[in-house]
Structure 1
Amino acid sequence: MKRFVASLGLFSAMAGATGAYAAQPEPWQIRFQPAATGIMEEVAWFEEYTLWFLGAITILVMVLIAWCIIRYRASANPVPSRTSHNTLIEVIWTVGPVIVLLFLAVPSFQLLTSQFTPPEEPAMTIKATGVQWYWDYEYQDEENPLTFTSLMLQEDERAASGKEDVAQYPRLLAVDNEVVVPVATTVRVLVTASDVIHAFAVPAFGIKIDAVPGRLNETWFKAEREGLYYGQCSELCGKDHAFMPIAIRVVSQEQFQEWYAAAQDDLGAANSALMAAIENSNNGKKVASAN
């Protein structure tokens, strides 16, 4: 099953390699967003794994109910049984659920351990602070720190930001300043809030953690492919709760270094240069694939 999920992720990555990739909610979506991290692949696998148990249990219960309705209806069973207990049945319905819970608990604990235990020391740390109703980000680099605010992009700001493409920069999810991180890099995220409780959630990364005033919560991710990934505040935090999206752009190591150096002087110009570099790279891939 894990191999199947991994192959789906690889197929999605190959499909996204020829153009700009953005993981975002889709209309009538009933499944997860494509996994961009190993943790999210494990989450998707565990969800499919548990569905086998849930489906079997649901069918079993429905069959037992139907059997009781038919077998013990008044016309077929005019004199009801007065049996008070059955040792075999009691052993079965005690031992059976215990075994099922063990099969669910072991991979569940393994997944929880993975979610809170990075496989390596994080190469960079970003602090995300939830504010009513936007996010503040701080790259915690002792030599060259970088701090900026990320606000939801208004419709009349698209042209100035160069983000007219609604497919890549969707309404209510696009922001003026994305978080930029390098691909295949373990990133620690320190999450807090300045006013009320928020929540930092990026579905494609498999991360969701509360942002609590006066407290630092910690999570991490390691994006395995480049692209633009969206999330949202997932804790009801006031009237504009639905309007504080999260956008994380995953780029190559070289592109990240260039962006980070330029962002020290002019964040807007650095973002524009990065978008142009990504567009040129995608156009080159399209030409190469066409040939």
Structure 2
Amino acid sequence: MKEPKWTSYEYADRLLREISLTVKQPPCHRMPSMLLIGKSNNGKTMILERALKAHPPITDIEAESNNVPVIFITMPPRPDLRRFYSMMLKRLGALFKESAATSVLEIQTLTLCESLGLRSIIIDEFHNVARCSVRSQHEFLNMLRFLSNELRISFVAAGIDSAARVIASDPQLASRFRPYSLPLWKDGEEYRKLLYMIESLIPLPEPSFLYKNEEIAQMILTVGEGNLGDMIDFLKEATYIAFDDGSPSLTVAHFRDTGFVPKSVQAARLRDLAKQSHG
């Protein structure tokens, strides 16, 4: 239960197909890219990690080096060009001097990407670029456009709403990014299918029929506020309680006993505490 598990659902499968098509795009002058926008903890990172696993490095005994079609980078807070190139080189398994000039890291990165056949860079937490100064943001976006043009590679970026504003600030780059949104969940056929899929991963001896238990289905949706990660966390806590009391399946009481607090309530409590401390 503590290990992260992939839960397939229709929209995620569609996004994975789109990412695969983007990675396999033949080289062209203006390489298409993707931007995935969604609330924190709503499944973006798991989709990106799933896409990475679908395009693993390829070992060719006869070739001088392996083929690495995709690398995954989590954008650090306040990223800069040197740090980004260093992270790319680390993901590509290169030896390099971190004290080297940015231009040296850039040339080494370009040379290695070409030799390894890199086709796409997946970038998580892209909204961290918004924390930089306007000048640094422009430098970073120019670098992405340069890499795309020089290497004929695509990008698959993900983040919260501010990531879209960063991309939109560069019209040339924005025209290459197709935006996709991961909305919060609402009740309906797809949500009930999701509950059915999630329950198949719960190791209890008897079925709980979450997808057709109206009270439980609505409780998960309401307490989790439609956020996939929060709904799953809520489910996990209820399942731990069921394990402890030896129940064969999940009941309404297990969910009520969790004391799970919605994120909006947590945020409100933190704001109140902050006001009290300043008061």
- Bucket of the pairwise TM-score, normalised by the shorter protein: under 0.3
Larger proportion of helix: 2
When the two structures are superposed, what TM-score results if normalisation uses the length of structure 2?
0.26
- Which structure features the higher share of strand residues? 1
Larger Rg belongs to: 1
